[in-house]
Amino acid sequence: MSLFVLHSSLEKQIHNNLVADLSNSTQTFQNLQLERQQMLDHEVDLLADLPSLKALMTSNDSNTIQDGGFEFWRVSGSDFFALMDVSGSLAAVYSSPALTERSDLGRQLNLLLNSKQQQHYLYTNHRLYQVAFRPLYFGSDSGGTLLGSVVAGYALDERIAKQVREAASAEVIFVAADQIISSTLGPKYDGSLHKQASELSQLDSQDDIWLGKEHYLVASLPIPTLSTSPVHLLVLKSFDQASGFVMKLNRLLLGLGLVVVLVSTLLALYVSGTITRPLDALLAGARAIGSGNFDYKFTRGGARELNELSEAFDQMRNQLRTSQQELVESARLAIIGRMASSISHDLRHYLSAIYANAEFLSHPATPAVEREELMADVKLAVHGMTDVIESLLIFSRTGRSLHPSYESVNLLIERSVSVIRMHPDAQSVIIVIEPLAPITAWIDARMVERAICNLLINAVQSASKSGSMPGHPQAAVCVSLTETSSAIEIRVADNGPGVPESIQETLFEPFVSEGKKRGIGLGLTIASRVAQEHGGAIQLETSRPGQTVFVFSLPKPVLASPELREEGEPVTLPS
């Protein structure tokens, strides 16, 4: 961009300089021609005062004048010499080379004699002359008799063009209509000049033209001839020569640009090796630490400050790892403490019941009917302890340990409802099963039944709170089974007070419960884990006083048999 701006500025400056030079060149030509005109006027004045020339013109014979005028032409040393009689007719004319066409010459000479211009030009026979004229009088100029006129001049040929070029420091072309009169460009441009003669004659000042492979800026100056063909002087300045310095400067700037690019590349590589790459490594390490990877090894390298920063990050990583281990240990101990508290409470409750009933059973006076009731209470306590232990085993299990098979989902629901109806908390709760469509799925029946039972126990315990209050409707739980295009959904709804907002966010975490007399808070946690192991999920769909809905969803692609999954076809569960 710098090269382009500098190049454009220099080109504009060179163009302005060339325009100024061309203007000076045309002015120089005009000054030279004015001096030449004064010299011609002086020479013609001397010729007009020669008595012998006046005597020749008194003969009034054109042949005598033609023969006698030759000596005067030779003495004058001019390229053009003419004598006009008193009537304005051309009496004699001499030129080198000789004129072959004189038809327009007499008209131009008569117009010239009446011209008031300071400089006088004739264009005839494809040659341009600068001329001067004086009338010839017999006697004094003021009171003598007019004998005719004498005209003399010099051709504006290559010789004059070279003189103008040296004075004006520019190339010169004299052009008339579609003819090149003279030029200083040399023979190698002759072909281009003749081909472009008509174009050259129409150029104005500050135009440009290409001659051959060279670019020129042109200034045009009209030559005031009396010919019907317009004549112009063209002063040309080579733009290529003038911009040669710019080309050298361009090459210099281009070389400097390449050096700058090379140095910048080396500098970028150095910066990349000492700063950028170590910073990228530090960034990767920071992200690894942020994602919990405390074993990430920080690379050493680069600037001293970056090495120190890497060491600081390494120390921070070790400290964070130690802190995390301490937090994990604290959390583990806290969970163990919560678990021990919950388990000890439930086990102590069941053991107290077993101990008390065992005392009554050991008493010989206890009737048989009471013994059966006491034995039923002992069995119920044992089953409660078994449930607690089984919940702990399921919760502590790592990895999947499913044993799937084709099972009827609606039969699992009916079996779970039958089990829960026998539960002590369900004695005052109505459990309603909506009509179930027969659906068969590839699931672990025991684990899914356990999850449904946990949801039902949770719903029954919540509904019983509302049903026990005066003025409230009968406690009820409703179970439904629906099928969508992508999953089957088991909904368990109750008309209890709803889930407290304080535990809605942590509802499925272990040991979370509120307002329950029994249970260690693993029911919903185990149900959620069973759903996740089957590729599904459990979510709280609605929770408000009078309506709480849990949805147990299982995706169809997971519930299909392995044979259907391998075929990759759309899954439709058999009904």
Q: Residue 468 sits in a domain of what CATH number?
A: 3.30.565.10
33, 131, 161, 512 from 39: Cα distances, Å:
10, 10, 18, 125
pLDDT digits (tens, 9 = 90+) for 435-468: 877 888 888 888 888 889 889 988 998 888 875 5
Token pair for 530: 């069973």
Of the candidates 142, 118, 122, the one whose C-alpha atom is nearest the C-alpha of residue 131 is 122
Residue 553 domain-assigned (yes or no):
yes
pLDDT digits (tens, 9 = 90+) for 40-64: 999 999 988 888 988 888 888 888 8
pLDDT digits (tens, 9 = 90+) for 164-188: 888 777 888 888 877 888 888 877 7
Q: For the residues of 294-343, what is the DSSP string, one character each?
A: TTPPPPP-SSHHHHHHHHHHHHHHHHHHHHHHHHHHHHHHHHHHHHHHHH
Residue 33 domain-assigned (yes or no):
yes
User: Which pLDDT belongs to residue 432?
Assistant: 92
508 Cβ contact partners less than 8 Å away, ≥ 6 residues apart: 524, 525, 528, 538
Residue 477 has pLDDT above 60, yes or no: yes
Question: What CATH number did the domain enclosing 76 receive?
Answer: 3.30.450.220
pTM check: above 0.75 = no
- Reported for 402-406, long-range contacts at CB under 8 A and 24+ positions apart, including other chains, are 402/443, 402/444, 402/447, 402/533, 402/534, 403/444, 403/446, 404/442, 404/443, 404/444, 405/442, 405/443, 405/444, 405/445, 406/440, 406/441, 406/442, 406/561
Residue 275 domain-assigned (yes or no):
no
Token pair for 499: 């889930």
**Lowest-pLDDT range, 265-269, 406-410, 464-468?**
464-468
Residue 32 domain-assigned (yes or no):
yes
Structural domain span for residue 152: 15-183+220-236
Residue 244 domain-assigned (yes or no):
no
Residue 407 domain-assigned (yes or no):
yes
Burial class (CB in 10 A: 0-12, 13-18, 19+), 336: exposed
pLDDT digits (tens, 9 = 90+) for 285-330: 777 777 667 676 766 666 677 677 777 777 777 887 788 777 877 7
Percent of the chain residues topping a pLDDT of 90? 11
Q: For the chain, what is the domain count?
A: 2
State which of 236, 268, 298 marks the end of a domain. 236
**Lowest-pLDDT range, 13-22, 194-203, 254-263, 565-574?**
565-574
Residue 323 domain-assigned (yes or no):
no
pLDDT level of residue 245 (50, 70, 90 thresholds)? low
